[in-house]
Structure 1
Amino acid sequence: MVMQRDAPITVWGWADRGEKLTVELAGQTAATTADQDGAWSVKLKPMPASAEGIVLTVKSHEQTLLVHDVVVGEVWHASGQSNMAMNVGAMAAELEPVKADIAAADLPAIRFCRIQEGPNREPQRDLPGKATWTVCTPATVSGFSGVGFYFARQLQRELGVPVGIIDSSRGGTPIEPFIPTAAFTGQPTLVRELELGEQEDLEGIWKLPGGVYARDANWLPGRLFNSRMAPIARFAVRGAIWYQGESNSGVQEDPRDYQHKMRALVQGWRAALDNPTMPVYFVQLPGSGAGAGWPYLREQQRLATDLPSTGMAVTIDLDGPGIHPANKVDVGQRLARWALAKDYGKQIACSGPLFASQQINSDKIVLRFRHAESGLMAAAKEGLAEPEETPDAELAHFEISDKTGHWRPAVAKIEGETVVVSSEEVASPVAVRYAYAVTPENCNLYNRDGLPASPFCSRPDLLIYDPHLPE
C-alpha cells in the first residue's frame, strides 16, 4: 500500500479485550492494549516519501501479522459516480492512444485500492472485506479508474514519489449518499433530505424541490459514506478528487441546491477525516450533456468553488458523446494541475477563466475573469491534442439578457483580459451567460495557458429551472 508522507500514521485494529500489541514500522515501535471492546490504535511519527518497500508488523502474544511492500508518498481519495469509476480499459475501447498508455504502465510507484461496499445506515468501524492494494502494471491498469490513473500518473511524474489512489466511487448515484449525515445541516433541502432518508422515504426525496430521484438505499443520505469512507477515516490522505453530478440532474432529478450539497460534501469530509483544510478538487460536467438539468447543474458546481482549498476542473470543451465521454486523460491531468499548483508549489496554471464580475456600459457588458492573467483567446481542441488558437473565430455560446430575463444570442469580443458582450436585440442588458446548453459544441473561450473557461451566468438569480422540462 501507500501511506501518506509527512503526516502522523495511525495503525488500528481489533484483538481480544486487554490484549497487548506491538506495532513496528521502519524502526518505529509503539505498544498498546486493546480496550473493553477489543479496539486498539497507535500513532507513529510522520515519515518522508520513499519508494522502497518496507514491512508493517503487528504482534500480539500469539500472532504476528505482516504487511509487505509498504511505500510512503501521496494518497488521494477518488470518488463520485460512473465517470470516476470508468476504467482505463473502457477508455481504451474508444481512444486508441490509451492503449499505448496501458502498454507503458509499468509504474510500481502507483497503487490503487478499490472499495465497493454496499450502503449502510450507520458509520462502520471496519470494512467487512479485505481492502486490497494493486500495483500499477500493464496487466492491472485497465481496471483502474481512468480519471484516478491519469491524475496519479501526472502527480507521480511531477513529484517523483509514490502515489496511492483510494477509489470509492459508485456508478449511478447522486451526491447525497457520499455526504456524512452530520453535514446535512444549515440549509432547508439538506435538513429535509436527511429527515426523509432516515424514514426510508424514497418518494418524498424525489418530490422534494431540490431533491433527487432516489431508487434504493444507495441513494439515501450518508449511506455510502458510512460503508466506504467512515471505516478508513483514520487513514491519512493528502486530499480528494470528485466527479459526479449526472445523477442529480438526469431524468426526473432536480439540480437545484446542488451547490449546497457540494459544500456539505467538502465540509463533511473534512470534519469526518479530521482534516479541516483538506483540498477537494472536482470535475464540472462535460459538454456531452445527457439531460435538461445539466446546464443548471454546471452553474451550481461553479458556485460551489467559493470554499477555500477547492478547485474545479472544467471539461466543457472535451469531445465525446453521451453521459460517459472517453477522454478522461484531460480530466485527470486538469485535476492534477490544481493539486500541483495549490498543494505542491508547482508554478503551473490550474484553471481556465472563471467569471469574476461584470460592468454594464450602456448596451454592452464587460466581463472580467479570474485565471486570465496570461490573456484570453479563442481556441479549438481536437481529441487529446492541446487547444490551438483560432484568432479569426467568433466566440460561441454567449447570450445576453434584459431585465425581464429573456435571453438572446450575443456577440462577444476579447479585449485584453476582458470580454465585451452585446446584442442588437437587447438595448439595456443586465446579465450574460456562456455555454448554457445541454450539449454546447465548440466552446472556444480559453486563457493562453490552454485551459477552457467555465460555463457561467453573471446573474444566477435569472436562471429559472423548471424540473418538468422534457429530457
Structure 2
Amino acid sequence: MKTIITIKKSDYPAPAKAYYRQQSSAKSTTREIALFLTGLLLIPAAIFAQFQIADIFSDNMVLQRDQPVHIWGKGNPGDTVLSGFATEEKSCIIKADSSWSVYFKKQKANAAPQIIYIKNRKETIELKNILIGDVWVCSGQSNMEWPMIKEMHFKEEIKYANQPLIRLYNPAPAGRYVYGVAYTDSLNKRLNTEDFYADADWQQCDSNTVKPMTAVGYYFAKHIVASENVPVGLINLSIGGAPIETFISRDALQNSKQFSVKVKGNWLENNNLPEWVRERAKQNVGNNVNGYGDDLGLNHAYKPGFAYAGGVAPIIAMPIKGILWYQGESNALELPRVEEYRNLLHLMINDYRQKWLPCLPDRQAAAPEGKQPAMPFYWVQLSSIDTAKYPSHYWPQFRDEQRKLLDEVKNGGMAVCSDIGFKNDVHPTNKKTVGERLARWALHYTYKRNIVPSGPLPLHAKYINGNIVITFRYTAEGLRTSDREAVTGFSINGKEETKATIQKNKIIIAAKEKPAFIYYGWQPFTNANLVNSEELPASTFKINVL
C-alpha cells in the first residue's frame, strides 16, 4: 500500500516554496498564453504523467542493506520532487521523459520500521513500516511458484508463520494456474509488459499472507532470519510451466551466437523453443488474433524475453542480495533443449549480473567494469520422477548439466533434491527441505557461516589396481547412506546397478577393466542413497574415469 495525501502549497518545505514562487512570478501576455496553449496540443499526453512511484515500492517492504537506496517514479516534467528517508532529504527535477530518481545513503540492517515520503506540489506519497535487510528474487516455474498452502508441512508450519522480519512481494502473472484453455478477455488485456504482473503490495509475513507465497522462498527466508537476525524480503516472479527463455532478456538472446535463433520469427512456430511450451501457449492465446504482440508474435508468459521485460526489467534498478532459481522441467523434455540448458542458464546469470549494476547515482563511475560478477545465484537441481506417467527420460542428463554449472558460476550453488521427488508427480510437496538446502548455500557463501553447503559432489574418479576410486567434496564427517543400507545408485554404463562400498570419504567400485565413465543416480526416479554426515544427498553425475 502507498498512502497518498493531497497537500497545499503552504505545506511545501522551504525549498519547494521558493521554486514554485519563481515559477509563478513570471508575467505572461495574452499572446504568450495563446502560444503556450497551442503548444500543449502538440505535446503527447503521456508527458503529463500522474505523479507516482514505481510499483515495487510500498508499505512493509525491505530495502537492501549496505547499498544506496534508490527510489524512482514518474510525474510531470519540470516539477520538483522532494523526498525524505532516515535523516536525509533529497530533491530532484522530473526529467523530460517524465522520470524522476533519488538516492539515499546506504544503511546497515535495521528491523526498526522507518518511513519514506515523496512529495510534489500537490501530493505526498508515504511509505510506512520499511525495514533494511536483504532482498532475494525468487524465480522459475511451478515448483518455485508452489504456494505455502499446498506445501507438505503447511498445517504444522502455519503456527510459526508470523514472521515480522520476513516481507513478501508476490505479483501474480497473467494466467497463473490457467492451463489448457483459451484466456478470457480480461487475461488477454494483461498480456503486455506493463500489466502482466498484477499490481501488488509488500506484505508482512503472517499466517494469511504466506498462503499464496512461494513455499521454497518462505523456508529459505525463515532459515536466513533464524541465523542472521536480519530482515529478508522476497520478490516472487515465478511462473508455472515457464521455460528459461522467458526470463532472459531479448537483447541477451539476440546477442548470443548460439541462441539468437530463439528470437527470430513467430515464436509459437519456432522449433528452437520447447515444443510443449509452445503448445501450452497456443492453447491460451492461439486464437487471439487481435492480442498484444510484436515481430516475434503474440505475447504470453512463455514468450522469449517476456517475463524478463514484464518482471525483471522494472526492478533491475533496485539493489538486491541475490537470486533463487528453481526451473528446468519445461526445458527437459527434448534432448536438444537439455543439451543447451547449461549455456542458457549461464547466459541468464551473466546477463542479470551485467544489468543489476551497483545502485549509485553515477553507476558507471562506481563500477567501471559495468557489472556485479559476485551477485549470488543459487538454483535447485531437478528432483526425481518416473517415466511411467511423465516424459522424464532425459532428467538424469539434465540434472548433471545443472551440476556442471557449479564449476562455471562464481558465487553459485545448487540444492540437490533428487531424494525427495514423487514417483508420479512433477510437483513434490516437500518444499521445506528445498528452501533449507538453498539457505545452506547462502549461509555458507553469502553470509560466511561455517556450514556444509551441499551433499557430496564428485571431484574425480580414478582407476587404481582394479578399482574405481571416487573422491568427493562436501563429505563433512564422512560418507554414509541415507537408509544405512548398502550403497545404491552407481553404474558403469548408466543402466545396470554396480556394487559400491564406502571407504572413509571415498567410494570404491571393483572393475576388471577401466570403464570410460562412472554414473550415479542415473535414473529419472533414482534410488541412489549416498549422503554425507549432514544427511545431504549426493548429486546425480556422470564423470570420466581417469
Q: Scaled by the length of structure 2, what TM-score is found?
A: 0.75
Match of 2:317 among 234, 237, 246: 234
1:114 aligns with 2:170: yes
Tell me how far 1:268 sits from its aligned partner: 1.4
Change (3 A) 1:264 1:251: closer
Deviation per residue, 1:106-163 (Å, 9 max, x gap): 111111101334599x996898754311111112221111101100110111111111
Correspondence for 1:200: 266
Match of 1:220 among 303, 306, 311: 303
Match of 1:43 among 103, 107, 110: 103
Q: Secondary structure of the equivalent of 1:410?
A: coil
Correspondence for 1:286: 383
Match of 2:154 among 91, 98, 113: 98
The one-letter code sitting in structure 2 at the alignment partner of 1:64 is T
Change (3 A) 1:178 1:43: same
1:397 aligns with 2:457: no
Tell me how far 1:50 sits from its aligned partner: 1.4
| Preserved contact between residue 62 and residue 135 of structure 2 (Cα < 8 Å) | yes
Match of 2:525 among 439, 442, 451: 439
| Preserved contact between residue 117 and residue 227 of structure 1 (Cα < 8 Å) | no
| Preserved contact between residue 398 and residue 432 of structure 1 (Cα < 8 Å) | yes
Instruction: Quote the Cα distance in structure 2 between the aligned partners of 1:64 and 1:181.
Output: 37
Structure 1 moving runs of 4+ over 6 Å: 125-128
The one-letter code sitting in structure 2 at the alignment partner of 1:335 is L
The total of aligned residue pairs comes to 433
Instruction: Quote the Cα distance in structure 2 between the aligned partners of 1:85 and 1:456.
Output: 27
Change (3 A) 1:407 1:186: farther
Instruction: Quote the Cα distance in structure 1 between the aligned partners of 2:431 and 2:496.
Output: 33
The one-letter code sitting in structure 2 at the alignment partner of 1:34 is I
Correspondence for 2:290: none
Question: For residues 451-470 of structure 1, what are the structure 2 equivalents within 5 Å?
Answer: 451-459=536-544
Instruction: Quote the Cα distance in structure 2 between the aligned partners of 1:29 and 1:51.
Output: 21
Correspondence for 2:416: 314
Segments of structure 1 that go 5 or more residues without pairing to the other structure are 381-389, 461-471
Of 242-251 and 304-313, the range deviating more from structure 2: 242-251
Correspondence for 2:297: none
1:422 aligns with 2:510: yes
Correspondence for 1:301: 402
| Preserved contact between residue 382 and residue 418 of structure 2 (Cα < 8 Å) | yes
Instruction: Quote the Cα distance in structure 2 between the aligned partners of 1:370 and 1:212.
Output: 37
Deviation per residue, 1:438-463 (Å, 9 max, x gap): 1113x211111221110000049xxx
| Preserved contact between residue 421 and residue 525 of structure 2 (Cα < 8 Å) | no
The one-letter code sitting in structure 1 at the alignment partner of 2:211 is S
Correspondence for 1:162: 231
Q: RMSD across aligned C-alpha pairs, in angstroms? A: 2.5
Question: For residues 22-171 of structure 1, what are the structure 2 equivalents within 5 Å?
Answer: 22-91=82-151, 95=152, 97-118=153-174, 130-171=199-240
| Preserved contact between residue 174 and residue 212 of structure 1 (Cα < 8 Å) | no
Q: Which has the larger radius of gyration?
A: 2
Deviation per residue, 1:152-178 (Å, 9 max, x gap): 110111111111100000001111100
Change (3 A) 1:46 1:313: same
| Preserved contact between residue 124 and residue 230 of structure 1 (Cα < 8 Å) | no
Change (3 A) 1:373 1:329: closer
Correspondence for 1:335: 438
Q: Percent identity?
A: 31
The one-letter code sitting in structure 2 at the alignment partner of 1:438 is P
Change (3 A) 1:214 1:129: closer
Instruction: Quote the Cα distance in structure 1 between the aligned partners of 2:193 and 2:236.
Output: 17
| Preserved contact between residue 382 and residue 417 of structure 2 (Cα < 8 Å) | yes
Change (3 A) 1:33 1:346: same
The one-letter code sitting in structure 1 at the alignment partner of 2:251 is A
Question: For residues 243-258 of structure 1, what are the structure 2 equivalents within 5 Å?
Answer: 243-250=326-333, 254-258=337-341
More helix by share: 2
| Preserved contact between residue 82 and residue 89 of structure 2 (Cα < 8 Å) | yes
The one-letter code sitting in structure 1 at the alignment partner of 2:400 is E
Q: Scaled by the length of structure 1, what TM-score is found?
A: 0.86
| Preserved contact between residue 174 and residue 197 of structure 2 (Cα < 8 Å) | no
Change (3 A) 1:185 1:140: same
Tell me how far 1:331 sits from its aligned partner: 0.2
Q: Secondary structure of the equivalent of 1:152?
A: helix
